[in-house]
Amino acid sequence: MIIEHIDAQLPGTVTDRHAFRGDQTIVIAGEHLLAVVDLLHREGFQLLVDITAVDWPEREQRFDVVYHWLNLASQERLRVKVPVADGGSVPSLTGSFKTANWFEREVFDMFGIGFDGHPDLRRLLTWPDFPGHALRKDFPLDGGDVFCMEGCTAPYNNGERGGR
């Protein structure tokens, strides 16, 4: 239902959509995000449940930033995906949703996606000088040489690391 409202009031913004067992998903471009969010807020989607992202290394626009909204009155849920290229950014939602602040910091930390207009875009989970972004598909699981994962020997077992 909400998707029809968006279509009516902001024609042409929804580039893709699908519904699976009651899950409604729309895909929009980054430049339309603030207008759509404004409309959603007026339509009653006032709980921003989560912001996360997905890495698709083979795609040209490498990341999907994924937003989840809940309409508290009608219990309707909506998922909004915004594709963004490597090194690109999307507008920050901190103006309309206070909870977006830390969500966006987490996405920035884990994927390296920028958020324009964010008041304090620092890393949230890892430490400030952490090398790389941990949830990108090309990030090595052990973090490369972070904390000497391969080179160190253990103090027990005669200094040998033991079988791998």
Partner 1 sequence: MSELDINDAVMTTRLDAVVNWGRKNSLWPMPFGVACCAIEFMSMMASRFDLSRFGAEAMRFSPRQSDMMLILGTITNKMAPVLRTIYAQMAEPKWVISVGVCASSGGMYRTYATLQGVDRVIPVDVYVPGCPPRPESMIYGVMKLQEKIEKESLSMRKDHIARFYESLARQESLQAEKGLTSQQAIREMLMDAGERGVGTIF
140 binds partner 1 (CB under 8 A): yes
| Contacts (CB under 8 A) with partner 1, residues 92-131 | 126-129
For residue 65, give Cα distances in angstroms to 41, 62, 68, 104, 144.
Answer: 19, 10, 10, 10, 26
90: nearest Cα among 47, 52, 45, 126: 52
Between 47 and 132, whose beta carbon lies closer to partner 1?
Answer: 132
User: Does 139 participate in binding partner 1 (rule CB under 8 A)?
Assistant: yes
Residue 124, Cα to own-chain centre: how many angstroms?
Answer: 13
Q: Which residue has the tokens 């160190």?
A: 152
Binding region for partner 1 (CB under 8 A) out of 20-28, 40-48, 59-67, 155-163: 155-163
Of 17 and 123, which CB lies nearer to partner 1 in the complex structure? 123
Rounded CA separation 6/87 (Å): 29
Q: Which of residues 12-31 bind partner 1 (CB under 8 A)?
A: none
Counting contacts by CB under 8 A, is residue 155 touching partner 1? yes
* Chain positions contacting partner 1, by CB under 8 A: 126-129, 134, 139-149, 151-156, 159
